[in-house]
Amino acid sequence: MGLISHLFWPWGMFVQLAALVHFFRRRPEWYWFYIILIGGALGSVIYIFAEVVPDFDLARASIQRYGRGSRVATAEATVRENPSVANLEDLGELYWDQRRYAKAREAFDRAIATRADAPRTFYLRGQCEMQLRDFPLRSATSSSPFAATRKWTVTAANFFWPNLMPPSAATRMPPPGSLTW
């Protein structure tokens, strides 16, 4: 019995330490902290199966990012067959994720031309214009279906204001929170 206990003792401590490291990085519910501390190795193993193993799906999503080229090709083929608003928005977001801003703006423009009314479409088109540094002064809010909404206009102004000015002029301008429309 003494020989076997010497083999298992440090490994339980390492499992408990790994569970605590994951706990403090991910910050799940606090009762898991007590289960890890009081339960020892068994509590840590329970925590790992309940909280750590489901997180592998998050890691899988980051590993699959290399498959976006095939997703873009599939989305382009889908848009050729059926140029609906949802397909165009999906294609634009895939281009946006790959930082191909000119093609993303073109896809968002086509989506808007076919009567897209989602705020995210207008927002991402404005972001593409800012990344390309090719935008009219009031493109993001003036042509959108929510241009009359005061809350959206102030929020858009607070976000877009620093990006509209050149870097030297942005330091001389008042902070975005002080803007009133």
pLDDT beneath 50: ranges in the chain: 139-142, 170
pLDDT of residue 76: 92
pLDDT for 177:
59
**Would you mind telling me the total number of residues written for the chain in this entry?**
181
Distance, in Å, from the CA atom of 176 to the CA atom of 34, rounded to the nearest integer, reads 45
Dihedral pair phi/psi, residue 114, rounded to 5°: -100, 30
Q: 23: which 2 tokens?
A: 């706990």
Contact 162, 170 (CB under 8 A): yes
For residue 140, the model assigns a pLDDT of 46
* pLDDT at residue 147 in the model: 54
For residue 143, what are the contacts with CB-CB under 8 A and spacing of at least 6? 112, 122
The predicted structure's pLDDT at residue 141: 45
Which two structure tokens, joined as six digits, stand for 94? 């895939």
- Predicted local confidence at residue 176, as pLDDT: 59
Q: Which two three-digit tokens encode residue 149?
A: 């909404």
CA distance 106 to 122: 12
pLDDT at 78: 92
The ranges assigned to domains in the chain are 2-63, 82-134+154-178
Q: Nearest Cα to 129, choosing from 112, 144, 151, 109?
A: 109
Whole-model pTM? 0.47
Residue with tokens 């990085």: 25
DSSP 50: I
Burial class from Cβ neighbours inside 10 Å (0-12, 13-18, 19+) for residue 39 reads: middle
pLDDT recorded at residue 40: 87
